[in-house]
Amino acid sequence: MIDLRSDTVTLPSPAMRTALAQAELGDDVYGEDPTVNRLETLAAEMVGKEAALLVASGTMGNLAALLAHAERGQRVILGSESHIYHYEAGGASALGGLIYQTVPNLPDGRLDPVALQVALGWPEDVHRAPIGVICLENTHNRCGGAVLPPAYLEQVHTLARQHGLPLHLDGARMFNAAVALNLDVRELTRHVDSVQFCLSKGLSAPVGSVIAGSHTFVNRARRVRKMLGGGMRQAGVIAGAGIVALTEMVARLAEDHANARMLAGELAGMPGITLEPERVQTNIVIFELNDPAITPKQFLTALREQGVLMGGFGGRQVRAVTHYGITADEVRAAVAAVRAVLGG
């Protein structure tokens, strides 16, 4: 199977399997797992923050970050298409008593600037719940892997500071953004107060995410992580693979981006498909099936019979994601499979 459903299906590299088998271990809840400590030190340095914390998943990382920043009854300002809002089971509300206030996302992943100003308005009005934190997402999943450039992050950071609010970045695929921009990831993270990024997904570790920020932030998040059941013991088995993810797997994301561009370029030319290839900036390709004779479900089933997996993405949209497990030849085979399905 050529599995383009998500970069979450990536399997660990041989170096990761060695690292996790040989990791030096201790009890991380006591702060005594040397491999976790090494990963957290490395991660903090790579993203230019005082401290970092290994968490079980991106969802846990975002939740711990939001609960570290905000009190019960406070608002979280976030994009209408954000992963936190759509795909994290409402955790900040259900478990943290926070209120999600969405601001419309523009197609390029930014927040509608006028709507953001309105959301931040009248903070002293007793009718309004106070705001605890503002969130951005980079790359932006539901906006097709769109990249937010440093200048935009800086602009929102300035605005957040003017309001005395922290800015959190859901950077699950932040390294994809940095590679696409050909910038050190610190050019992105310097404009946010906290960040979450996934070691799984494109970086191909089997488990784990990291959150990073100030010492104060990470100390609070560590307590929330414990409360959420995310204090793990000999977590160095995870961290060992995570260190390989950060040291060996970042630069190769460019290959995934090239494969995604090739896929988008080929699909865009096919009858039955609507796709703007210039919008594909990283490893995510979202397209629309415009032939009413075939439903997305029929399309995906027929594609599966050809040995290719893609994912439905709501309405008539389909998503394909390139990753460590996919070669350029497999992309060409996937293109041929789509052509066969739509032509047949």
Ligand X SMILES: *Cc1c(COP(=O)(O)O)cnc(C)c1O
Q: Which of 308, 301, 294, 305 is nearest to 342 (CA)?
A: 294
User: What is the distance between the alpha carbons of residues 81 and 313, in angstroms, rounded to a whole number?
Assistant: 12
Position closest to ligand X via CB: 58
User: What is the distance between the alpha carbons of residues 150 and 53, in angstroms, rounded to a whole number?
Assistant: 24
209 binds ligand X, rule: CB under 6 A: yes
Q: Which amino acid is at 73?
A: G
| Cβ distance to ligand X smaller for residue 74 or 141 | 141
The least distance separating ligand X from the CB of residue 167, rounded to whole angstroms, comes to 16
Chain positions 159 to 188 lying near ligand X, rule: CB under 6 A, are 170, 172
240 binds ligand X, rule: CB under 6 A: no
- What are the residues whose beta carbons fall under 8 Å from the beta carbon of 175, sequence distance 6 or more? 185, 197, 202, 203, 250, 253
57 binds ligand X, rule: CB under 6 A: yes
Of positions 111, 198, 211, 300, contacts ligand X by CB under 6 A = 198
Number of alpha carbons in the 13 Å side-chain half-sphere of residue 163: 23
Helices 58-69 and 215-227, interaxial angle, to 10°? 120
256 binds ligand X, rule: CB under 6 A: no
**Contact map string, positions 116 to 155, toward ligand X, x by CB under 6 A:** ---------------------x---x--------------
The least distance separating ligand X from the CB of residue 261, rounded to whole angstroms, comes to 20
User: What is the distance between the alpha carbons of residues 131 and 42, in angstroms, rounded to a whole number?
Assistant: 32
The least distance separating ligand X from the CB of residue 172, rounded to whole angstroms, comes to 3
Chain positions 61 to 80 lying near ligand X, rule: CB under 6 A, are 62
Residue ranges in contact with ligand X by CB under 6 A: 57-59, 62, 83, 137, 141, 170, 172, 198, 200, 209
